[in-house]
Amino acid sequence: RASKLVSYRALSRVTPSRAGQIRFNNAASSATTTAACTIVSPAPSPSMACSHYYNQAAVDAAAAKNSVLLTPASLLYSGRAADSHQVLRSAQYLQRELPVRIAHRVADFRALPFVVGCHPTLLAVHELYLRAFHILSNTPTLTEPEDEIQYSGLLRQLLDEHKDVVTMLAEGFRECGRHVRDSGLVRTFLDRTLTSRLGIRLLCEHHLALRQEKPDFVGIVGTKFCPGDLVESRAALVTRMCDMKYGQSPTIRVDGNGSKAAFSYIPQPIEYVLTELLKNAFRATVEFHRGRPGPVPEVRVTVANNDVDFVIRISDQGGGVPHEIADKIFDYNFSTAEASEQHESFFDRVSESRSSSSSMHGFGFGLPASLAYARYLGGALTFETMQGVGSDFYLRLRHIDGRGDTFRI
Ligand code: ADP
Ligand code: COI
């Protein structure tokens, strides 16, 4: 037992600033940066730094395995009345599963074209995954409930260390994505990375949540999830952001037969998507009506629900999406935000005071990431727009306890 605890402590002492940090020999954000980088600690030579990324037999072995996906229903039923043994079993599943999933992420980083794989920010994300892989693969076998406590502490730390990954990917690809001729390659990489990361984080958060009693929740599954309430709470947040940026904001109206419905669902991904859609609707409304007298028109959210699916429609009168960009708005890194404001988001992230998700717009990741998440959840994200008038965005999802197949995490 004593030696196990020592190993856990040793692992958790490995902070990214010590083991995972990359020192770059050139300007940090140059688009054409070469691979000239060294690892600060331990300190290998530049050639070792390269083999550090590519010669990793343990990663290859784990990446060759398939992931074991879970349905939301299995999370719900196995998580009910979780005692310490069930929580231990959940941790044992993660101990087997996480190295495999993280090895898949590393394998995808290795397969990126050189110009992308060498970008400092993207290399830093690659490094974060390699580090997580080694830490999680080297945890002592979990056999006792006390082991699980240590393991959960490690998971919490890793979740926190990876919290800026999406912003880092957005920033990295904004600078070098255009150098890749095949834009489908970037899209495939980002769709897979973002959705697989979502799955990994959901599994970790589910395990951590099993250890706490929260009314109307089994782990991450809300048993009385109410879409209307979630819209109201996200709209309150976006209203504050919009007021801070523009000095005004639209009012919000929530209606539809599903707005007061309550059913089992996993709120986190919808929370993200709704926030992005509301920010876009608020921004379009305020910018389109800026300088006109009187209050800006409201944003209306309608929730429609039946036994199989539910749809959340966000309608704005923000002038619509211009014809010439309508087929680009779901592209990664496409944004009509001013370049200066996009840079602002980056420096906000660096100063760690804010992330891009806390600014009204930024890297052009909101819509493509939301589309990838909606599809991952077995749903869809579509829109209708009328130029000069406004837009309707539709998020369609399937019930997890309804008839038919659900997605797998
Ligand atoms: P970002 O908000 O960072 O620009 P998004 O991916 O969320 O990135 O949106 C991409 C672009 O789509 C926006 O810059 C904007 O031009 C357009 N767009 C999105 N939603 C709307 C909307 N409701 N009305 C008008 N244009 C929109
Ligand atoms: C991520 O958030 O990027 C992860 O993969 C989390 C995991 C390392 C625990």
Residue 305's DSSP bridge partners are: 310
Atom of ligand 2 nearest to the CA of 163: 2
Number of other residues whose CB lies within 10 A of the CB of residue 363: 26
If DSSP codes are grouped into helix, strand and coil, which group holds residue 125?
Answer: helix
Q: Is 284 in the pocket of ligand 1 (CB under 6 A)?
A: yes
What CA–CA distance (Å, rounded) separates 153 from 290?
Answer: 48
pLDDT classification of 222: cutoffs 50, 70, 90: very high
Tokens encoding 229? 């309430």
pLDDT for 256 equals 97
Q: Are 321 and 329 in contact (CB under 8 A)?
A: yes
pLDDT for 28 equals 35
Q: Are 361 and 287 in contact (CB under 8 A)?
A: no
In order of 177, 219, 237, 268, 350, the CA distances from 230 in angstroms are 34, 18, 11, 10, 30
Q: Is 335 in the pocket of ligand 1 (CB under 6 A)?
A: yes
What CA–CA distance (Å, rounded) separates 299 from 365?
Answer: 22
Q: Is 127 in the pocket of ligand 1 (CB under 6 A)?
A: no
The beta-carbon contacts of 199-202 under 8 Å, at least 24 apart in sequence, are 199/69, 199/101, 199/376, 199/409, 200/98, 200/101, 200/102, 201/159, 201/162, 202/266, 202/268, 202/269, 202/409
Q: What contacts 63, CB < 8 A, 6 or more positions away?
A: 100, 103, 104, 106, 107
Residue 306's DSSP bridge partners are: none
Q: Rounded to the nearest 10 degrees, how much is the dihedral formed by the CA atoms of 223, 76, 193, 131?
A: 120
For residues 170-180, average pLDDT: 90
pLDDT for 177 equals 83
Residue nearest to atom 3 of ligand 2 (CA): 162
pLDDT for 398 equals 95
Tokens encoding 329? 């708005």
pLDDT classification of 5: cutoffs 50, 70, 90: very low
pLDDT for 2 equals 45
In the block, tokens 């930024």 appear at 362
Answer positive or negative: Cα dihedral of 386, 392, 393, 398. Answer: negative
Least confident of 118-127, 331-340, 348-357, 395-404: 348-357
Residue nearest to atom 26 of ligand 1 (CA): 321
Ligand nearest to the CA of 97: 2
Residue nearest to atom 12 of ligand 1 (CA): 329
**Secondary-structure breakdown of the chain: helix, strand, coil percentages, each rounded to the nearest 5:** 55, 10, 35
Q: Is 391 in the pocket of ligand 1 (CB under 6 A)?
A: yes
Atom of ligand 1 nearest to the CA of 325: 16
In the block, tokens 């929370």 appear at 271
Q: Minimal CA–CA distance to 148: which of 97, 196, 207? A: 207
**Is residue 367's pLDDT more than 90?**
yes
What CA–CA distance (Å, rounded) separates 394 from 303?
Answer: 10
One-character DSSP codes across 250-289: --EEEESTTTT--EEE-HHHHHHHHHHHHHHHHHHHHHHH
Which is more confidently placed, 357 or 212? 212
Instruction: For residue 390, report the phi and psi dihedrals to the nearest 5 degrees.
Output: 180, -170
pLDDT classification of 79: cutoffs 50, 70, 90: confident
Tokens encoding 392? 């309707």
**Is residue 182's pLDDT more than 50?**
yes
Kindly give the distance from the C-alpha atom of residue 335 to the centroid of ligand 1, in angstroms, as a whole number: 6
Tokens encoding 77? 């039923």
Q: Is 246 in the pocket of ligand 1 (CB under 6 A)?
A: no
Least confident of 13-27, 60-74, 81-95: 13-27
Q: Which residues of 372-397 are buried (b: 16+ CB within 10 A; e: fewer)?
A: bbbebbbbebebebeeeebbbbbbbb
Ligand 2 site residues, Cβ closer than 6 angstroms: 132, 155, 158-159, 162, 165, 197, 200-201, 204
In order of 335, 378, 406, the CA distances from 259 in angstroms are 31, 21, 22
Kindly give the distance from the C-alpha atom of residue 254 to the centroid of ligand 2, in angstroms, as a whole number: 34
For residues 43-48, average pLDDT: 48
What CA–CA distance (Å, rounded) separates 135 from 119?
Answer: 24
Q: Is 318 in the pocket of ligand 1 (CB under 6 A)?
A: yes
Q: Minimal CA–CA distance to 267: which of 230, 300, 298, 304? A: 230
Atom of ligand 2 nearest to the CA of 101: 5
Tokens encoding 341? 């404001």
Least confident of 43-52, 112-121, 149-158, 340-349: 340-349
**What value does the mean pLDDT of the chain take?**
85
Q: How do residues 126-154 score in pLDDT, each as one tens digit? A: 999 999 999 999 999 999 989 999 999 99
Kindly give the distance from the C-alpha atom of residue 294 to the centroid of ligand 1, in angstroms, as a whole number: 24
For residues 340-344, average pLDDT: 49
Atom of ligand 2 nearest to the CA of 155: 9
**Is residue 169's pLDDT more than 90?**
yes
pLDDT for 56 equals 82
Residue nearest to atom 1 of ligand 2 (CA): 162
